[in-house]
Amino acid sequence: MEFGITQMSSVIWLGILTSISPCPLATNIAATTYIGRQINSPFATVWAAVAYTLGRTATYVLIASAVIAGVFSIPGVSMFLQTHMNKILGPVLLVTGLFILELVPLKLPAVSLNANLIKRLGDSGMPGAVALGFLFALGFCPVSAALFFGGVIPLSLELESRFFLPLLYGFGTAAPVIGFAVIIAWSARTAGLFFNRLAVLERWFRRITGVMFVLVGGYFCLKYLFGIINF
């Protein structure tokens, strides 16, 4: 199925917003900075960020591919989704928007990693950076889980995209991490100022995105679920 600019830019934006959300952002910065210090190169942190985000992207693509392939391997479920996807999207987007706005609490089981394993991976250079990215991406926080499972997965299901849209989402998560790594390589002081401003912007970006999810979800509910509006 063909993808439009709207769908592609939407998943990229969701990836960016995921990456600058407080929990993933702190993990991303700590991981790329630590790995970069183990490599004797002026821009080691940048290359560490690239390798780290490749690992994160691989996780998202594999999860999305497994979910979508599993859904479409069941003929009844596949046919149901193809027929009623717009009706399902309304409530999903509406609830996801409430999660993003943190109006509805979402508790997830914690994913703990062995400290010695993290240190060994961090000390092993670029391959370790890829592995860390892969493992850390599994530790979804409420906001990132809502964005991925409530935004990217439904859109990928609707467009039957097992690989391309999740890959774009992964690229979206990479952009802020690599940008921050460049700033760290340039100046630690500048990085601190950038981090503080980014934290403020993230709150506004998240609120705007959450409101958009609620509005679009409400529109889908009124149009496809209840048939109240026809435009």
Domain residue ranges of the chain, discontinuous segments joined by +: 5-222
Residue 146: the pLDDT is 87
Reading the block at residue 131, the tokens are 């592995």
Backbone torsions φ then ψ of 3, nearest 5 degrees: -115, 140
Residue 181: the pLDDT is 78
Q: Tens digits of per-residue pLDDT, 57-107?
A: 999 999 999 988 888 777 777 777 777 788 888 899 999 989 888 887 766
Q: Tens digits of per-residue pLDDT, 99-114?
A: 888 887 766 555 555 6
- What is the pTM assigned to this prediction? 0.82
Q: Tens digits of per-residue pLDDT, 1-23?
A: 566 788 889 899 999 998 888 77
Q: CB under 8 Å to 55, separation ≥6 — which residues?
A: 129, 130, 131, 132, 133, 134, 135, 136, 137
Q: Tens digits of per-residue pLDDT, 179-194?
A: 877 777 776 666 667 7
Residue 138: the pLDDT is 82
Query: What is the residue whose two structure tokens read 């394993």?
Result: 117
Rounded-to-integer distance, Cα 139 and Cα 15, Å: 15
CA dist 104 → 62, 97, 132, 220 (Å): 28, 9, 30, 20
Q: Tens digits of per-residue pLDDT, 24-58?
A: 877 777 777 776 666 666 677 788 888 888 998 99
**Cβ(42)–Cβ(202) under 8 Å?**
no
Rounded-to-integer distance, Cα 224 and Cα 157, Å: 17
Reading the block at residue 106, the tokens are 């979402």
Q: How many CB atoms lie within 10 A of CB 66?
A: 11
**Of the ranges 102-116, 123-137, 211-225, the best mean pLDDT one:** 211-225
Reading the block at residue 52, the tokens are 């780290």
